[in-house]
Chain A
Amino acid sequence: MIKFDQVSKRYPGSDEVLRDVSFSIETGELVFVTGHSGAGKSTLLKLIAAIERPTAGTVLVGNQNVSKLRAAAVPYLRRKFGLVFQDHKLLFDRNCFDNVALPLYINGVTGSEAGKRIRAALDKVGLLGKEKTMPITLSGGEQQRLAIARAVVNRPSILLADEPTGNLDGNYAAEIMALFYAFQQVGVTVIIATHDAHDISAAQGKVLRLNHGQLSEGGRPT
Chain B
Amino acid sequence: MMQWLNQHLQALQLVLSRMRRNTLAALMMCSVMGATLCLPGILYIIVDNLNQLAGNVQSEPQISLFLKLDIKPETIAALDKQLQDHPDIKSHRFVSKNSAWEQLQQDAGTADVAGNLEKNPLPDAYFVQPKAFDPITIERLQSEMQQWPGVVLAQVDANWVKRLYSLLQLGKKAILVLAALLGFALVAIIGNTIRLQILTQREEIEVSKLMGATDGFIRRPFLYAGALYGLGGGLAAWLLLAGVITLFNFSVADIAQQYASNFRLNLPLWQVNLAMIAGAVGLGWLGSYIAVGRSLAQFNLK
Contacts and interface: CB of A to CB of B under 8 A. Distances in A.
Q: Do A and B bind each other?
A: yes
Interface of A: 49, 51, 72, 75-79, 81, 83, 89, 91, 93, 102-103, 105-108, 110-111, 154
B71 interface: no
A110 B301 contact: no
Contacts of A49: 210
A72 B206 CA distance: 16
Contacts of A75: 209, 212-215, 217
Contacts of B301: 51
Contacts of A51: 210, 301
Q: SS class of chain B's interface: helix, strand, loop or mixed?
A: helix
A107 B213 CA distance: 8
A103 B211 CA distance: 6
Contact of A110 (B6, B209, B214): B6
- Enumerate the 10 nearest inter-chain pairs by beta-carbon distance, A residue then B residue, closest first: A78-B212, A79-B212, A108-B3, A75-B212, A106-B213, A103-B211, A75-B214, A51-B301, A110-B6, A89-B207
B23 to A, nearest CB: 17
B7 interface: yes
Contacts of A103: 211-212
A64 to B, nearest CB: 14
Given A89-B203, A91-B204, A108-B7, A76 B210 contact: no
7 contacts: A75-B212, A75-B213, A76-B212, A78-B211, A83-B211, A108-B6, A154-B211
Contacts of A102: 207-208, 211
Given A91-B203, A91-B204, A83 B213 contact: no
B10 interface: yes
Contacts of B207: 89, 91, 102
Contacts of B214: 72, 75
Contacts of B206: 89
A108 B4 CA distance: 8
Contacts of A154: 211
B270 to A, nearest CB: 37
Contacts of A111: 6
A106 B206 CA distance: 13
Interface in B202-244: 203-204, 206-215, 217
B210 A83 contact: yes
Given A51-B210, A81-B212, A89-B210, 18 more contacts: A75-B214, A75-B217, A77-B212, A78-B212, A79-B212, A83-B210, A89-B203, A89-B206, A103-B212, A105-B10, A106-B208, A106-B212, A106-B213, A107-B212, A110-B6, A110-B10, A111-B6, A154-B211
A77 B6 CA distance: 22
Contacts of B208: 102, 106
A55 to B, nearest CB: 17
Nearest to A77: B212
A52 B55 CA distance: 68
A30 to B, nearest CB: 22
Contacts of B215: 75
A72 B211 CA distance: 14
Contacts of B211: 78-79, 83, 102-103, 106, 154
B19 to A, nearest CB: 15
Contacts of A77: 212
Contacts of B217: 75, 106
A93 B207 CA distance: 13
Contacts of A78: 209-212
Nearest to A71: B215
Contacts of A107: 212
A110 B3 CA distance: 9
Nearest to B203: A91
A79 B3 CA distance: 17
Contacts of A106: 208, 211-213, 217
Contacts of A105: 7, 10
